[in-house]
């Protein structure tokens, strides 16, 4: 069969071009943020006051709003995603799991603006009449951002949980575990910690002797991805958070996130301090996403040595050292 030797060269060239393009974009954003800091020393860009008429363009309130919205929506969305993942893997009847999978797949195809448009006419009046305030607040935006991130996090968890459940189902069934016990005591700890639990002292790991340890921790990976999406979402905070430049002390307070600020400033085409604050906001968003990804990698690397030591200990317990000459004695007895 004829081999195409030019294909690896083409793939390398494409990989290098994509990497160069991505590096150029990252360098541009970081250099723009550094330029904004250099040119805006007297504009209080990291201050808490936003007053363009007085020459103050502080974005500290927007940083607080972005972090509050991202963390709160992640806490709600991750719990919902874990519940959906468990329902898809045995906690719900098969017909309900099929309907849930179809609903999650449909949610991935719904545009973000549809979520925001529906919330403006359904959720905002409900919160306004039931809890008070304007309805355009941290709570409304957090609920919708959490809902939007549920399908992505659920699919990441579901793929890993299905694979781990298939590897450990036979051993768990042989130990007399119910499907709920198998999921809660074997699969979820394995997906969360990156190491397979033991069935008992000195027993073989439930994932099998030849199974590779799961050091990537899909539950944590799903959380990091959901956090990055929540921080980077622009449309829902712009439509639902109220865009008030102030510190939020209650879920019913309005806020403006960094992404909403970028959208509003770009749409108005304003220069000066507003434009510098826009550049700094973009650099901060990139720094946040990079920090989340590096944190995920760091935790994964911290987990791998522990998994290796744990597996080494299990091997020592499961496979005791051979007595010198035992094999030769056995051969002599057979002869």
Residue 287 sits in a domain whose CATH number is: 1.10.3720.10
* pLDDT attached to residue 300: 67
Beta carbons of 134 and 254 less than 8 angstroms apart: yes
* pLDDT attached to residue 123: 92
* pLDDT attached to residue 198: 43
Residue 52 placed within a domain: yes
Q: What is the pLDDT along the chain (335 residues), one digit of tens a residue?
A: 455 555 688 888 888 888 899 889 888 888 888 887 777 665 677 878 887 777 778 888 999 999 999 999 999 999 999 999 999 988 888 899 999 999 999 998 889 999 999 999 999 999 999 898 888 999 999 999 999 999 999 998 888 888 888 888 888 888 888 888 888 888 888 887 654 444 444 344 444 444 444 445 788 888 888 888 888 888 999 999 988 888 889 899 999 999 998 888 887 766 677 778 888 888 888 888 888 878 777 766 665 554 455 555 544 444 444 433 334 324 443 44
Residue 196 placed within a domain: yes
Q: How many distinct structural domains can be found in the chain?
A: 1
Residue 18 placed within a domain: no
Residue 319 placed within a domain: no
* pLDDT attached to residue 186: 85
- Record the tokens describing residue 155, joined without a space: 């699919």
* pLDDT attached to residue 164: 86
Residue 310 placed within a domain: yes
- Record the tokens describing residue 183, joined without a space: 């999921």
Residue 159 placed within a domain: yes
Residue 2 placed within a domain: no
* pLDDT attached to residue 79: 93
* pLDDT attached to residue 205: 45
Place of tokens 């545009």: 111
**Total-model pTM:** 0.76
Domain that holds residue 209: 30-314
CA 195 to chain centre: 20
Nearest residue to 196 via CA among 213, 220, 180, 183: 213
Residue 11 placed within a domain: no
Write the pLDDT tens digit of every residue in 115-135.
Answer: 999 999 999 999 999 898 888
Distance CA 101, CA 151 (A): 9
């Amino acid at each position: 069969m004829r081999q195409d030797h030019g294909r690896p060269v083409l793939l390398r060239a494409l990989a290098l071009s994509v990497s160069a393009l991505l590096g150029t974009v990252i360098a541009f954003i970081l250099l723009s943020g550094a330029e904004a800091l250099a040119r805006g020393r007297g504009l209080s860009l990291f201050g808490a006051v936003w007053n363009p008429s007085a020459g103050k363009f502080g974005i500290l309130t927007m940083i607080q709003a972005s972090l509050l919205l991202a963390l709160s929506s992640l806490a709600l969305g991750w719990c919902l995603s874990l519940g959906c993942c468990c329902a898809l893997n045995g906690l719900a009847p098969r017909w309900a799991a099929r309907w849930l999978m179809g609903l999650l797949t449909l949610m991935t195809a719904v545009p973000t603006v549809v979520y925001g448009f529906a919330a403006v006419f359904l959720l905002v009046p409900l919160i306004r009449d039931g809890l008070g305030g304007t309805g355009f607040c941290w709570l409304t935006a957090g609920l919708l951002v959490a809902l939007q991130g549920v399908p992505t996090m659920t699919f990441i968890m579901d793929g890993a949980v299905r694979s781990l459940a298939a590897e450990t189902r036979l051993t768990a069934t042989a130990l007399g575990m119910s499907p709920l016990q198998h999921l809660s005591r074997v699969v979820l700890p394995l997906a969360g910690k990156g190491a397979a639990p033991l069935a008992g002292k000195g027993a073989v790991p439930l994932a099998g002797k030849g199974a590779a340890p799961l050091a990537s921790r899909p539950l944590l990976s799903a959380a990091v991805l959901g956090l990055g999406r929540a921080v980077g979402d622009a449309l829902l905070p712009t439509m639902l958070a109220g865009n008030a430049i102030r510190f939020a002390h209650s879920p019913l307070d309005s806020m403006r996130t960094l992404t909403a600020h970028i959208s509003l400033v770009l749409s108005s085409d304003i220069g000066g301090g507003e434009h510098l604050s826009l550049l700094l906001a973009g650099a901060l968003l990139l720094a946040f996403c990079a920090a989340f990804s590096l944190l995920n990698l760091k935790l994964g690397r911290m987990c791998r040595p522990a998994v290796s030591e744990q597996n080494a200990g299990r091997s020592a317990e499961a496979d005791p050292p051979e007595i010198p000459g035992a094999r030769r004695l056995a051969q002599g007895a057979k002869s």
